[in-house]
């Protein structure tokens, strides 16, 4: 089975996951790079044009060699200077790293770019694309030869829960041990789904909204049962709101909690 | 473990910010170096963020915080643990020592590439000798389909005039095309060498067919004068491209090597790059010679001088690949 992430274990015993880039985002990045090479080629044609006044042959020859050099060296130079990123990868939020998570070495950058000759065959990046889809670490031939992987660089966004939840008293957060258990037990995907449901409540039909929040509330109630006196007055939707409040803000608004995640990666 | 997450984030945030700042600086300045104090602080921040990541990992709802810390730790890990020795690139040393040494280190792959080409040459020559009709199949180029005598008459009449005003362009096209062929032979190594073998054999087939056709047509001297000046560099360059492809294939297959495939490939990556660099240089020279020397024939350029030029090139190339950097290699071995 193909993994979504690569697990790295450091000598210090720290474990972390690197999220692998998918074939589609890599293809889009390649399209951007292809356009960049074409644009650079066009710019060079303009620069070389005055040479034609002296010798048309010299101008054509310079153009042929320069265009070939650019298409060969573009990936090598950009990945070297931008630490594993080309223009396309920068725009799409991708980066090439060594499979063990370390920095790229020059020979690795050159090998993965030279091997493009095989990956491009028989056209439209077919060999590379098929390899990427079949490979457990989403590697094309060049990546396998160079021992590299392409990962997604994260763009973390802080969930905008303040405006949704308001700053009201939250009875669920008052029982700190139960709130902590809730944060521990709720799966991250479910937490985000619940937040999404609150953020988009007005887009949902009233009948469907009732069912949705009933199911969410039932799930959270079963996961961490609260004493009846704390939750008896809460509607299903309010229960979900308070739960999301606990999950994302981690504390009662009444106690003046700050946002937990002022986190944006570069 | 129950963690007071707000307090934890509040306490740790300044350290994460400091770590992120250092990382951004390092990433923006690839040649930049930290002082001993800064490096110690950087290491401490990395370990602290790693510790934070381990603690946060138990909190399912803190996915974003966990991913942020993982991203921070992964970047710091790449900086701190990248301690492999970096060999600076020195062009003269590379040309005089590293390239010929690398070539000799993988001489068996080169010999195999040469054997495959020679097998192709033998079959191509045999096919043309005993089945002249095969010419249209083996030589898919118009200028090779005429009889050798016609071609010689044509070339001698034109004396390269057909290239008047486009010699430099022709030379550039030869360089780029041959580089593409050689690098494809290299890249085909990833097909466990199958693509490289086919490409080398096909090149030999074509070469053998042309050679025997001209020899049988009594045009041996023309053939040598036409082919040797650029061919003695161009053909070895393609063979070296094939050599690099076979080196990759050997690392992929891993006969007699118990290390992992990734390790084997990592081990040869610098050699492959070195061989590819050598191929590129040789093909630039071959392209210039083919456009500016090979296209001229007697009486403008005597065949004897063209053949002598080719033989001198072959001698120099052989000496360079066989002898250059030997003393340095021996001193390193000692």
Q: Which chain A residues in 54-73 lie under 8 Å from chain B, judged by CB atoms?
A: 55-58, 60-62, 64-65, 68
C-alpha B246/C-alpha B32 separation (Å) is 38
Quick check: ipTM above 0.90? no
Q: Is residue B20 part of a domain?
A: yes
Secondary-structure percent of chain A, ordered helix, strand, coil, rounded to 5: 60, 10, 30
- Residue that wins the pLDDT comparison between B63 and A163: B63
Residue A9 pairs with which residues in a beta bridge? A15
| Domain edge (last residue) among B80, B111, B145 | B80
Instruction: Look at residue A213 and tell me whether its pLDDT is greater than 70.
Output: yes
pLDDT confidence of residue A165: 54
Q: Is residue B62 part of a domain?
A: yes
C-alpha B328/C-alpha B179 separation (Å) is 29
Which range, A210-224, B127-141, B290-304, has the best average confidence (pLDDT)? Answer: A210-224
Min Cα–Cα distance to chain B from A246, Å: 10
pLDDT confidence of residue A253: 43
Do the beta carbons of residue B272 and residue B240 sit within 8 Å?
no
* A145 and A172 part of one domain: no
Q: Is residue B28 part of a domain?
A: yes
C-alpha B152/C-alpha A16 separation (Å) is 69
What whole-number percentage of chain B has pLDDT above 70? 89
Min Cα–Cα distance to chain A from B48, Å: 11
Instruction: Look at residue A75 and tell me whether its pLDDT is greater than 50.
Output: yes
* A119 and A235 part of one domain: no
Q: Which chain A residues in 101-130 lie under 8 Å from chain B, judged by CB atoms?
A: 101-103, 105-108, 110-111, 114-119
| Domain edge (last residue) among A129, A152, A175 | A152
DSSP A232: T
Domain extent, residue B14, equals: 5-80
Length reported for chain A: 266
* A48 and A134 part of one domain: yes
Instruction: Look at residue B60 and tell me whether its pLDDT is greater than 80.
Output: no
DSSP A20: B
* B57 and B95 part of one domain: no
Which range, A35-49, A158-172, A223-237, has the best average confidence (pLDDT)? Answer: A35-49
Please report, for residues A47, A141, B211, B271, B312, the alpha-carbon distance to residue B178 in angstroms, rounded to integers and kept in the order given.
Answer: 26, 22, 19, 20, 22
Choose the weakest-confidence range: A162-171, A209-218, A225-234: A162-171
Q: Is residue B279 part of a domain?
A: yes
Q: Is residue A133 part of a domain?
A: yes
Minimal CA–CA distance to B224: which of B129, B304, B292?
B304
* B131 Rama sector, left if φ>0, alpha if ψ -120 to 50, beta otherwise: beta
Residue with token string 């999404």: A196
Question: Coil, strand, or helix at residue B62?
Answer: coil
Minimal CA–CA distance to B231: which of B148, B141, B127, B314?
B314
Q: Is residue A92 part of a domain?
A: yes
Q: Do B190 and A115 touch (CB under 8 A)?
A: yes
Instruction: Look at residue B23 and tell me whether its pLDDT is greater than 80.
Output: yes
Domain extent, residue A83, equals: 5-152
C-alpha B72/C-alpha B295 separation (Å) is 61
Min Cα–Cα distance to chain B from A115, Å: 5
Q: Do A184 and B262 touch (CB under 8 A)?
A: no
C-alpha A84/C-alpha A96 separation (Å) is 4
List the structure tokens of A46.
Answer: 């303009």
Number of domains making up chain B: 2
C-alpha A245/C-alpha A166 separation (Å) is 10
* B271 and B169 part of one domain: yes
pLDDT confidence of residue B150: 81
Banded pLDDT at A265 (limits 50, 70, 90): very low
Q: Is residue A262 part of a domain?
A: no
pLDDT confidence of residue B120: 96
Residue with token string 């492809």: B245
Strands A5-9 and A148-152: unpaired
DSSP B293: I
Q: Is residue B22 part of a domain?
A: yes
| Domain edge (last residue) among B38, B57, B80 | B80
Q: Is residue A224 part of a domain?
A: yes
Mean pLDDT of chain B: 86
pLDDT confidence of residue A262: 34
C-alpha B315/C-alpha A220 separation (Å) is 82
* A11 and A139 part of one domain: yes
Question: Coil, strand, or helix at residue A95?
Answer: strand
List the structure tokens of B25.
Answer: 């600086």
* A166 and A251 part of one domain: yes
* B197 and B61 part of one domain: no
Q: Is residue A199 part of a domain?
A: yes
| Domain edge (last residue) among A98, A119, A152 | A152
Query: Which of B74, B79, B179 is closest, CB to CB, to A8?
Result: B74
* A90 and A179 part of one domain: no
Residue A151 pairs with which residues in a beta bridge? A20, A95
* B23 and B97 part of one domain: no
Which residue of B7, B45, B61 to mutate against A (max A Cβ within 10 Å)? B61
Burial class (CB in 10 A: 0-12, 13-18, 19+), A77: middle
Burial class (CB in 10 A: 0-12, 13-18, 19+), B144: middle
Q: Which chain A residues in 218-247 lie under 8 Å from chain B, judged by CB atoms?
A: 247
Q: Is residue A121 part of a domain?
A: yes
* B113 and B223 part of one domain: yes
Q: Is residue A10 part of a domain?
A: yes
* A136 and A181 part of one domain: no
Residue with token string 């053949």: B307
Q: Which chain B residues in 57-86 lie under 8 Å from chain A, judged by CB atoms?
A: 57-65, 67-74, 77-79, 81-82, 84, 86
Residue A149 pairs with which residues in a beta bridge? A97
Residue with token string 């990833």: B190
Do the beta carbons of residue B23 and residue B80 sit within 8 Å?
no
Chain-centroid distance of CA A98 in Å reads 18
List the structure tokens of B37.
Answer: 């104090």
Task: Give A80-107 pLDDT, tens digit per residue.
Answer: 988 899 999 999 999 999 998 888 889 9
Instruction: Look at residue B54 and tell me whether its pLDDT is greater than 80.
Output: yes
Number of domains making up chain A: 2
Q: Is residue B137 part of a domain?
A: yes
List the structure tokens of A229.
Answer: 């006196």
pLDDT confidence of residue B142: 66
Task: Give B221-273 pLDDT, tens digit per residue.
Answer: 988 998 899 999 999 999 999 999 999 999 999 888 888 998 999 999 999 99
* A115 and A200 part of one domain: no
């Amino acid at each position: 089975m193909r993994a979504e992430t690569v697990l790295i274990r450091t000598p210090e015993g720290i474990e972390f996951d690197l999220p692998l880039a998918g074939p589609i985002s890599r293809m889009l990045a390649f399209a951007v790079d292809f356009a960049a090479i074409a644009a650079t080629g066009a710019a060079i044609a303009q620069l070389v044009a005055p040479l034609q006044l002296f010798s048309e042959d010299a101008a054509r020859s310079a153009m042929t060699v320069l265009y070939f050099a650019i298409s060969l060296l573009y990936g090598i130079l950009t990945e070297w200077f931008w630490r594993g990123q080309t223009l396309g990868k920068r725009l799409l939020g991708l980066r090439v790293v060594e499979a063990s998570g370390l920095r790229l070495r020059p020979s690795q950058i050159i090998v993965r770019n030279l091997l493009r000759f095989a990956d491009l065959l028989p056209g439209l990046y077919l060999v590379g694309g098929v390899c990427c889809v079949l490979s457990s670490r989403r590697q094309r031939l060049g990546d396998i030869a160079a021992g590299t992987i392409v990962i997604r660089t994260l763009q973390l966004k802080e969930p905008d829960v303040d405006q949704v939840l308001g700053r009201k008293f939250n009875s669920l957060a008052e029982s700190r041990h139960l709130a902590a258990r809730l944060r521990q037990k709720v799966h991250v995907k479910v937490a985000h789904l619940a937040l999404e449901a609150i953020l988009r409540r007005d887009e949902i039909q009233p009948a469907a909204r009732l069912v949705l929040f009933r199911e969410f509330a039932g799930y959270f109630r079963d996961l961490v049962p609260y004493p009846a006196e704390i939750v008896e007055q809460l509607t299903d939707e309010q229960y979900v709101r308070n739960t999301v409040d606990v999950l994302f803000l981690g504390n009662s608004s009444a106690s003046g909690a700050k946002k937990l995640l002022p986190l944006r990666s570069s | 473990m129950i963690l007071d997450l707000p307090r934890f984030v509040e306490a740790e945030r300044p350290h994460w910010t400091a770590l992120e700042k250092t990382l951004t600086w390092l990433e923006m300045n690839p040649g930049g170096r930290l002082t001993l104090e800064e490096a110690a602080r950087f290491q401490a921040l990395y370990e602290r963020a790693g510790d934070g990541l381990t603690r946060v990992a138990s909190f399912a709802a803190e996915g974003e915080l966990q991913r942020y810390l993982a991203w921070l730790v992964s970047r710091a890990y790449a900086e701190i643990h990248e301690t492999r020795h970096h060999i600076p690139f020195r062009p003269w040393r590379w040309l005089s020592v590293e390239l010929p040494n690398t070539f000799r280190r993988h001489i068996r792959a080169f010999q195999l590439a040469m054997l495959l080409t020679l097998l192709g040459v033998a079959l191509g020559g045999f096919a043309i000798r005993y089945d002249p009709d095969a010419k249209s199949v083996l030589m898919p180029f118009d200028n090779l389909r005429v009889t050798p005598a016609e071609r010689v008459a044509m070339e001698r009449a034109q004396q390269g005039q057909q290239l008047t005003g486009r010699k430099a362009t022709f030379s550039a096209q030869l360089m780029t095309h041959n580089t593409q062929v050689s690098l494809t032979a290299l890249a085909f190594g990833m097909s466990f060498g199958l693509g490289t073998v086919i490409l080398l054999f096909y090149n030999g087939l074509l070469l053998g067919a042309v050679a025997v056709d001209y020899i049988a047509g009594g045009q041996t001297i023309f053939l040598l004068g036409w082919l040797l000046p650029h061919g003695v560099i161009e053909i070895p360059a393609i063979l070296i491209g094939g050599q690099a492809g076979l080196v990759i294939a050997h690392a992929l297959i891993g006969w007699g090597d118990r290390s992992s495939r990734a390790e084997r490939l990592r081990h040869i990556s610098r050699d492959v790059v070195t061989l590819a660099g050598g191929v590129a240089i040789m093909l630039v020279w071959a392209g210039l010679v083919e456009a500016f020397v090979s296209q001229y024939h007697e009486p403008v350029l005597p065949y004897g001088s063209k053949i002598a030029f080719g033989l001198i090139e072959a001698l120099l190339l052989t000496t360079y690949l066989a002898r250059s950097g030997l003393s340095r290699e021996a001193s390193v071995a000692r």
